[in-house]
Structure 1
Amino acid sequence: MARNIDKEVKDYRHDSSKRKNNPPAGMAGQGRTPETPKQEYAYNPHLSPILRSDPHGDVDKIHELLQKAQHQKLTPEETEKIAKTLKHHEPWLEWAGKQEAKSFTVDPVALHVHERVSAKAILKVAERENVQRNLFADPQQTYDKAVEFYKHDVDWTNRLILGDSLMVMSSLAQREDLAGKVQMIYIDPPYGIKFSSNFQPTVFQRDVKDRDQDLTREVEQIKAYRDTWTLGIHSYLAYLRDRLIVAKDLLTDSGSIFVQISDENVHRVRNLMDEVFGVENYVSLITYRTTTGMSQKSAPVRVNDYLIWYAKNKETIKFRRLFMESEIDTKNFNKLEEINGEHRTMTEFERLKPGNIDHNSRTFQTAPVHSKGEGDKTAREFEGKKWTIPAGSWRYSLDGFQRLGKVGRISQEKTVIRAIRYFDDFPLQEVTSNWTDTGPELSKSYVVQTNIRPIQRCLHMTTDPGDLVLDPTCGSGTTAYVAEKWGRRWITIDTSRVSIALARQRLLTASFEYYKFKDEANGVGGGFVNKNVPHITLGSIAQNTALDPIFEKHEPILTAKLEILNNALAGITDDIRTTLQAKLADKERREGKRSITDADRRRWQLPDTAWQEWEVPFDTDPDWTEVLKVALTDYRNAWRAKMDEVNQCIADASDGEELVDQPEVDRKRIRVSGPFTVEAVQPPEEYLDMESPIGGEPDDLDDTFDDTNTDRHEDVNAEAYLDKMIRLLREDGVKFPDDKKQKFATLEPLEADVLHAEGTWENGDSDRQVAVAFGPEHGPVTVMQVEDCLPIASRLGYDELVFAGFSFDGAAQTIIQNNPNPRVQIHMANINPDVVMDDLLKETSTTQLFTVFGLPRTQLDNTDNGEYIITMEGVDVYNPVDNTVSSAGADKVAAWFIDSDYDGRTFCITQAFFPDKNAWSKIARDLKGVIDTESFETFSGTVSLLFPAGKHRCVAVKVIDPRGNEVMRVYDLEE
């Protein structure tokens, strides 16, 4: 296939922006993460938002009581009334548990970089070119700097983060100095209270029902649901309030926050945001269309949702006006100007369907040339007559009036003159707070996927290219996609691995138009070259002195052409005049007097001797002499040349409106997503406190409902969780591949910090000492936990070490797979998430709760030319619904990736494969002729492209299952 060498593949880089060097997942245990204390955020106790108020009107009595206090002592009841009224003089929103807590604390957890993703790097591989690490914006730091986490600034990359949004946002603010750096935050919180309505269990399943098998088994999602809805709307409000408070800390002084919400809770969330941001910083409530209609049994069809918009500081808010095309109002703009200058009224056909209007015609309306008030009332001359105004004064000065006349902006209508205003003087209308053109997303990849248009509008109104946008409710990555499309930096967060998998694929396989920069040296941060639409007003034309030289240039030309035309008129005989008059009479007889247009009269009612310039016909008649036809054509061409220059001058002199959502496109370039990282929080480690929590002095009774002592609660929760896990493991044992079941003869808790239990197997293996380490209750087993446990298990003489977790991050799997201490046999056992879902399931599994399954089945082959190729044969897929491990084929995975030069620090995707045949279809279409189609077809298959050995002589393969979980396999090319 011929290569299209004229089209270049580019991405946007934000060279002027930096970020901190977060720990690479593979090095998390080798460096030291700076201690960052838990951050305490205080609630505002004075603006407390059932909506409570002062139902007795006591506030109206304050003035009277204060007057009384100047002359005599108030009674205790009167004093108390003043105090209560001053405290609660405004309405406020109240909910269960709100008054008890005065603040909340958040652990600003470390964020570990697990993947570096670069669409451009993958396309380089598809083009059979070598991949440079700078394509991933990999800082490539020396070891001593790489382990100094959060100490160095590195090049910016966008960020896709797995974790609780509250902890992640606090980490961004406290560890990475991003407080006051985010320009826009977009939050799409859960709308409803049903668990199944908020989460998607697998990448492929979007039809979610209220069945056990449809519920997500991600422990992070389960925790998020409980945090949000344990007490129904009460915990929902507390959940949202906490995140709004931290979000406010991240916003710039000119920043904005949008919360997308349905009518079910819009009133509550509005009151909540009044508290957090202040009533004075409320900007707007935007109503936007979401569906063609959601039927309700006892209410009208619902078609809208809402965006609640607040500013960090409304006085300094960044706001860009948006415009959209106006539809022609043919009731008011009911006249047309043809290209030859003829004015006529629209036909019924044109009025009812404006699309039928010839594109060369200009629609216009007329407006008064006078205004109310005192001023110049002197009669003025126009087209050979003196004109006065009925009342008031002339709207324009005499010079301005004459300019309007010379550019054809004054029209005679029977007994008055009026000014002409064309529809295309400004064919746009400002976008209001009611958006009716934001219908549903037709093709969704996520159960609650948001249409891109509402987010686009929010982004354009409140940000500029290069600004930072944050979405703590990632979903399918719509906000990140929109931000990438329009050259904004982005960070997006979600607790769901399914969401992360969908967003990664969406961004990696996207292609965009390449927008031109205002300043190439400043890149994206300098802004785009945006379309500018003239905003023409009659007043600006009247004051435009730049028109005067144009008049001076063209008037002599038109005068000469008019003289030639009038000379040609002398050649018209009486017979011709009679014929022309007959045509006029015939039309009037057939169609009525009202059918006769100004153009008809000019064409058929020829003057005796000469035309004035305002009487010249617009077109010729076949019965005219050839000399007259040529003369009129020459005159009209000269008139058209003048008007084209006039109109250009008018447009150039207008202030104009910059359309920030319509940048100029460079058609010689195609753009893909810039580099981004996939990150995850470092979950807190669980440990057993062998000392009884009961003892010592009793707690202060006043703190019974105080939620601020979170450390104590977390310790108690961790102990209960580990105690439950040890009991279940002791009862059920571990299921290994090939249905081998191992039960424990003994299993007792340990006092160690990192190893949680020890025991021995039944079935003749009683001499083998087994240690057990449980992963976090709400997170994966991490590389730090593995690296902490391995040397201790070896030193204490254990023969086997079982890591039991709800999931395992890729770096942890690599360490376990490459077991650096072969003396200790290591097992990865997945815990059935049902053990923490008792209250959410109709039926709960009680057997086979701990299951070990193998690595992805991949084959690495060395070819004759020294290059390598990988075949992905399948993977053991764990189904937490029925607690089984099945050997699935390659077509059952959600995605698989290759890092052809794995450095042990971070997985850099050099080849990306999605069984979904349509995943790469759009970008393949856009890059047709630039990259071979066969390469994109390969990226939907099970056999990789050829690749050479890299600097580190190590290859990693990562497979993503339908639930977003990942398994990794690492090949050492030296072996």
Structure 2
Amino acid sequence: MSRRKQQPNPSLPIDDFRHAADKRVNNPPAGMAPTYEVQQRQASRYAYNPHLDPQLVWAGKAEHTSFEVEVVSLHIHERISTKAILEAVRRPQPLQMDLFGETPLPADQEVEFYQHEVGWANRLILGDSLLVMNSLLVKEGMAGKVQMIYIDPPYGIKYASNFQPRIDRRDVKDKDEDLTHEPEQIKAYRDTWQLGIHSYLTYLRDRLLLARELLTESGSIFVQINDENLHLVRCLLDEVFGRENFVAVITFVKTSGKGGATLDSVNDFLLWYAKDKSQVKYRQLFLEKELGEEGTKGYQHVQLPDGARRRLSGPELESPALLPEGVRVFKADNMTSQEAGATTFEFQFEGRGFHSGKNSHWKTNRDGMERLRQAERLFAVGNTLSYVRFLDEIPVRPLTNVWTDTGIAGYGDPKVYAVQTNTKVIERCMLMTTDPGDLVFDPTCGSGTTAYCAEKWGRRWITCDTSRVALAIARQRLMTAKFDYYELREPERGPAGGFVYETVPHITLESIAKNTEIDAIAATYQPQIDQALADLNQALRKQWQEWEVPREVPHPVWPKEAHEAYKKLLKMKDSGALGMAEKAAPLLETVYRLTGHRWGSLAEVPEPMPPEDWPEAAQEALRRFWALKRQKRQAIDESIQRNAPQETLYDRPKVVRGLVRVSGPFTVEAIPVPAVEDPTQAPIPPFAASEEAAPVPGQEGRISDRGGDYLTTMINLLKQQGSVLFPGGKKLELQNLRPLNLGYLHAEAEALQNGHTLRVAISFGPQHGPVIAHQVQEAIPTAKLNGYQVLLFAGFAFDPEAQAFMQKAPVGGLQVHLAHIAPDVLMGQLLKTTRASQIFTAFGQPDVRVERKTRDGRWLVQHTKEYKEALAENAFPQDGAWKVELRGVDIYDPLTGKVHSTRGQDVAAWFLDTDYDGKTFKIAQAFFPGDRNAWEKLQRALRAQIDPEAFEQMRGTVSFPFQAGKHERIAVKVIDFRGNEVVRVMNLVKEVAMYEQKI
């Protein structure tokens, strides 16, 4: 019988954390950035104290007593909400803008960037960390706003060891084909390691100084490092933060050792410094105590459920799993302190006198000692009176600075990046030094582990990296993450109001000795216990004290001869052999003669030995005595638990069941890099080419950073090549190429096309960044106004907004092309061999098919004959559904310098903005064809609410149906495995001709 398919529940149990009370300034959207007034260049100056003593000395430090950092804007490129993406899976609907955390502003305020506060959204930023931090400080006034900073700088000086070249390849090697070819990464590596450890120390010290400015007075910074540079980095931190603000060196086990020729290193280190140690925020974390592990030395006794006590056996000590259920392990703890005092006296316990000692004193007074007796927390070991400390009364131990559970076995999240840190390491730093709602910053994003941990624990976060690969991995990781929903202490405030945490008691000798409830409980039960004891003694004619009473009716004390006869009878009975009656008769007689127990045959011999023949009154008194003792012990234990101090477990907030939490809204941002750079690295666009490019002293093969030199080099390279390669093997042959000083147009040439000579203008992108929208907006009208028929943008990378701008605001009669410059020309000596073939290669747009649903349910492809006929017949409903298919994309391969036509299912990811406003790309639908497991966690959590086929579609190339938004325009963004992005903008209803791109 086939199983009926389960219908998804339309009510999605999905939520995210919003930080409603927190604000950020209104950064410019990347699509509006070209209209943002280009102000005169600014820079911030930072200075060091040259008189520190002692201090570390390295080459260039004496000259580097101060430095300038350019003040840049951070442009918002994307807005992301996983909740919005999952909502779109359920049914076609317009984009729900409120889910993206965007605050609408009046039209006049919308263009007044950095002047108004808007709702908080977390931030993923592409750009140099020094520029990002300076922008946060100067443009956004965030000095003293960050609670924790986590920095994981490069450990070594090999180029390959610092950067991951592809999203799908975590192994980093030192071959040319394995190196990253991103221009920002090449610059970052050279800035860091140009002079080896000397430039590394300068690089790090500059960033530590700005990090300190960002921290709150109670803030902390953690720097992750290995033993190679641990001592040097600690000296840097001493200089920047002050030796007095050093908190700890944390040693943690990493995933694996290097397998070195000598002693293998299996740990890394965290250097923890405070902005002001006297004000540092600190939350104590705990680890569970496990018998036989750290913190359980001396726990060698056990109390059984009936209150009886004994020592642990050897096997039980080695394997606690052998312990019977319900037992409580305890240690006999010291009850005295040195030196005589007011509590130096003799105390009577179980008929014996115990003295604290002439030169010692009890840890509590006589009343406290009596309460410990009533609570059954005293235990005599030889001539010493000890305190019974149960293992479960302080079930945790404080976390120290040595973490041994962070290796492979403790890895809590799949590894997606070459140098990914275990989440447990960063979580602990975060939980120790921040509260929910606090802001965390990581200038070394990598795979986004800090952002992931911050999202998990309800902290706000900002993180940045120079690598597009790193940001692509982090973005996917955050978009597809699933978290528990923690109970909020003040729901109206969100995470900032705190979580409701689990607690554990911290029961001590002092808390018991001062618990006056024990007196009242003892007063209730003790008279009844005393009466039961008196009744027992009267029935048996005994004078037992409370501690002498047996727990059950004891076995009789038989003579040795009777015991021997009884054992032989049991053995005969167990054997079951015939003819035993005659052998058993004399033994039965012996037992009767010596004990008075008469058994007629072997079958009547009892097992085990029968107890003493107590009168019923004695047996009832014994049962009553122990029942009252158990009730008294339980009541006192409950009182002790209730009145004991509680330890808050900050890593165990209470979970709300039945609710799936996803990442809250976040933005993807970037630093705009102007088209040309001058010798001081401060851009002043535009910049004219010089006649000859100046060489870089001592660095053969490297292009000068001076703007004119860079442009001259690019023009010479293009002149040597003589053409630009297009997909399909076609070439644009350039003739009479020469420099041009016309705004953002840097060179001009002529090209032959269909028998006609066309004027060609060339605009080069920046040396260490992408071609941005501002450059495109300025260059296109300049080219059109000056009579050029072809405009070629040549760059090492291209901002998606630059591509989108060309498509949403076309100018007729102007062919516009984008050409990749092979990054080999930047890498120089980083490569073992340099390719001498194609340097400039053009690429096209993604191949996208748009379909629209008719009133009768047919899907028709846009721009086809059938579509136009249906449009004329009004066959499409006003609020009808659309869908998009990614059929393929041209992907530039920096290793070969060629453009490959790639199928849609062979890309790393593609995103769809179903209502593109030209300002920012809002990811309404997200697809990961290159990673079949991307949505796996959310699919398992939401299998009852979202059809599994929907998640399968999110791994494919066809979008979900959607309704057109108010802009009636969509944008498709495609990400390749090197993190590069290409964008296609398409109008849904209004027909607009795009730039001609024909050769």
Q: TM-score range by the shorter chain?
A: 0.7 to 0.9
1:336 pairs with 2:302: yes
Provide the residue aligned with 1:65 in structure 2.
Answer: none
Change in Cα spacing, 1:411 to 1:813, as seen in structure 2 (3 Å) is same
Q: Indicate yes or no: 2:853 matched with 1:848.
A: no
Corresponding position: 1:400 with 2:368: yes
CA drift of 1:518 comes to 1.6
Moved more, 681-690 or 650-659: 681-690
Secondary structure at 1:847 match in 2: coil
Give the conservation status (yes or no) of the 8 Å contact 1:34–1:150.
no
C-alpha contact (below 8 Å) 2:14/2:662 kept by paired residues: yes
The 1:122–1:562 alpha-carbon spacing in structure 2 relative to 1, beyond 3 Å, is farther
Structure 1 pair 272–2 and aligned structure 2 pair: CA distance change class (3 A)? same
Tell me if 1:513 matches 2:502. Answer: no
Partner of 1:951: 966
Of residues 159, 162, 170, the one that matches 1:206 is 170
Residue 234 of structure 1 pairs with residue 198 of structure 2: yes
Return closer, same or farther for 1:320/1:801 CA change in 2, 3 Å cut-off: same
Matched letter for residue 319 of structure 1: Y
Deviations 1:523-580 (A, max 9, x none): 2001111122211111121111132222233334444555666677689xxxx98953
When normalised by structure 1's length, the TM-score is 0.86
Amino acid at match of 2:23: K
Residue 526 of structure 1 is matched in structure 2 by 497
- Is contact 1:367–1:419 with CA below 8 Å preserved after alignment? yes
Contact 2:688 2:707 (C-alpha < 8 Å) held by counterparts: no
Q: Distance in 2 between matches of 1:224 and 1:716?
A: 13
**Most deviating of 443-452 and 412-421:** 412-421
Q: For the Cα contact (< 8 Å) 1:369–1:419, is it kept in 2?
A: yes
Seq. identity, %: 48
1:491-890 matches, cutoff 5 A: 491-559=462-530, 562=533, 579-582=555-558, 632-686=622-676, 687=685, 689=687, 717-732=706-721, 733-762=723-752, 767-865=757-855, 866-890=880-904
Aligned partner letter, 1:22? N
Mapped partners of 2:372, 2:229: distance in 1: 55
Task: Tell me the CA shift for residue 810 of structure 1.
Answer: 1.3
For residue 834 of structure 1, report the CA deviation from its aligned partner. Answer: 1.0
RMSD between superposed Cα atoms in Å: 2.9
- Structure 2 gaps of 5+ residues are 1-5, 543-551, 568-607, 677-684, 856-879, 992-999
Aligned to 1:601: none
Residues 384, 956 of structure 1: alpha-carbon distance in 2 compared, 3 angstrom cutoff: same
Residues 555 and 609 of structure 2 are in contact (CA less than 8 Å); yes or no, is this contact kept in structure 1? Answer: no
Structure 2 residue aligned with 1:77: none
May I ask how many residue pairs the two structures share in their alignment?
884
Shift of 1:393: 3.2
Does residue 31 (structure 1) correspond to residue 45 (structure 2)? The answer is: no
Residue 371 (structure 1) shift = 3.2
Letter in 2 for 1:121: A
Aligned to 1:45: 50
**Paired amino acid for 1:646:** I
Whole-Å Cα distance in 1 between the matches of residues 416 and 398 of structure 2?
Answer: 32
CA separation in 2, counterparts of 1:812 and 1:689? 20
* Residue 61 of structure 1: aligned partner: none
1:923-974 CA distance string (max 9 Å, x none): 1112221222221111111111111112221111111011101111112111
> Are residues 734 and 947 of structure 1, via their aligned partners in 2, closer, same or farther at CA, if it must alter by over 3 Å?
same
Distance (whole Å) between structure 1 residues aligned to residue 923 and residue 690 of structure 2: 49
Aligned partner of 2:346: which letter?
A: A
Q: Following the alignment from structure 2 to structure 1, what is the Cα–Cα distance between the partners of residues 51 and 554?
A: 92
Q: Which residue of 2 aligns with 1:58?
A: none
- Match for 1:892: what amino acid? D
Answer with 28-37 or 514-523: which moved more.
28-37
Question: Structure 1 pair 300/745, CA: closer, same or farther in 2 (3 Å)?
Answer: same
Indicate conservation of the 8 Å contact 1:895/1:912, yes or no. yes
SS of 1:826 mapped into structure 2: strand
The aligned counterpart of 1:19 is 24
Q: Deviations over 1:562-621 (max 9, x none)?
A: 5666677689xxxx989532499969x99xxxxxxxxxxxxxxxxxxxxxxxxxxxx998
Correspondence for 1:925: 940
Does the residue aligned with 1:208 lie in a helix, a strand or coil? coil
2:326 match = 360
Q: Which amino acid aligns with 2:984?
A: R
Residue 82 of structure 2 corresponds to 119
| Structure 1: runs of 5 or more not aligned | 48-89, 591-618, 695-704, 706-712
- From 5, 8, 14, the equivalent of 2:13 is 8
Larger mean Cα displacement after TM superposition, 235-244 or 578-587: 578-587
| Aligned CA distance change for structure 1 residues 579 and 881 (closer, same or farther; 3 Å) | closer
What's the secondary structure of 1:839's corresponding residue?
A: helix
Q: 1: CA distance between counterparts of 2:797 and 2:125?
A: 16
* 8 A contact 1:838–1:844 mirrored in 2: yes
Deviations 1:457-492, CA, capped at 9 Å, x for gaps: 111111111111111111111111011101110011
Three-state SS of the structure 1 residue aligned to 2:424 is helix
Match of 1:412 among 380, 394, 403: 380
Partner of 1:274: helix, strand, or coil? helix
What displacement does 1:99 show?
Answer: 1.0
Is 1:169–2:158 an aligned residue pair? no
> Structure 1 CA distance, aligned partners of 2:521 and 2:553?
36
**What CA distance in whole angstroms lies between the structure 2 residues aligned with 1:221 and 1:621?**
86
SS at match of 1:380: strand
Q: Distance in 2 between matches of 1:205 and 1:394?
A: 65
When residues 376 and 444 of structure 1 are mapped into structure 2, their CA distance, relative to the original with a 3 A threshold, is closer
Match of 2:572 in 1: none
Q: Output the CA distance in 1 between the equivalents of 2:610 and 2:131.
A: 81
Which of the residues 160, 163, 166 maps onto 2:124? 160
Say if 1:739 and 1:537 are closer, same or farther in 2 by CA, change over 3 A: same
Q: TM-score, normalised by structure 2?
A: 0.84
Q: CA deviation at 1:353?
A: 1.4
Pairwise CA distance, 1:167: 0.5
Kindly state the Cα deviation for residue 165 of structure 1 after the two structures are TM-superposed: 0.8
Distance 1:693 1:319, change over 3 A: farther
Query: Quick check: 2:556–2:611 contact (8 Å CA) kept in 1?
Result: no
Q: CA, structure 1 residues 722+186, in 2 after alignment: closer, same or farther (shift >3 Å)?
A: same
Instruction: Give the residue type in structure 2 aligned to 1:170.
Output: N
2:923 to 909, 914, 923: 909
Counterparts of 1:480 and 1:281 in 2: how far apart (Å)?
26
Cα-to-partner distance string for 1:682-717 (whole Å, 9 max, x where unaligned): 1123156559799xxxxxxxxxx9xxxxxxx99961
Aligned twin of 2:976? 961
Q: For 2:829, what is the secondary structure of its paired residue?
A: coil
* Alpha-carbon contact 1:540-1:654 (below 8 Å) kept: yes
**Residues 643 and 729 (structure 1 numbering): CA distance in 2 closer, same or farther, change over 3 Å?**
same
- Distance change (3 Å), C-alpha of 1:842 and 1:580: same
1:197-241 Cα deviation digits (max 9, x unpaired)? 111111111122211111111000000000011111111111111
User: Contact 2:27 / 2:114 at 8 angstroms: preserved in 1?
Assistant: yes
Instruction: Kindly indicate whether the alpha-carbon contact (under 8 Å) linking 2:369 and 2:513 is maintained by their aligned counterparts in 1.
Output: yes
Look up the SS of the partner of 1:300 in the other structure. Answer: coil
- Residues 95-124 of structure 1: per-residue CA shift (max 9 Å, x gap): 111112221111121111111010111111
Give the deviation of 1:386 after TM superposition.
4.5
Residues 637, 25 of structure 1: alpha-carbon distance in 2 compared, 3 angstrom cutoff: farther
Deviations 1:903-933 (A, max 9, x none): 1111111111112111101111122212222
Alpha-carbon distance change, 831 to 340 in structure 1, aligned in 2, over 3 angstroms: same
Q: How far did residue 140 of structure 1 move?
A: 2.8
**Aligned counterparts of 1:768 and 1:23: Cα–Cα separation in 2:** 37
CA contact (8 A) 1:745 1:766 kept: no
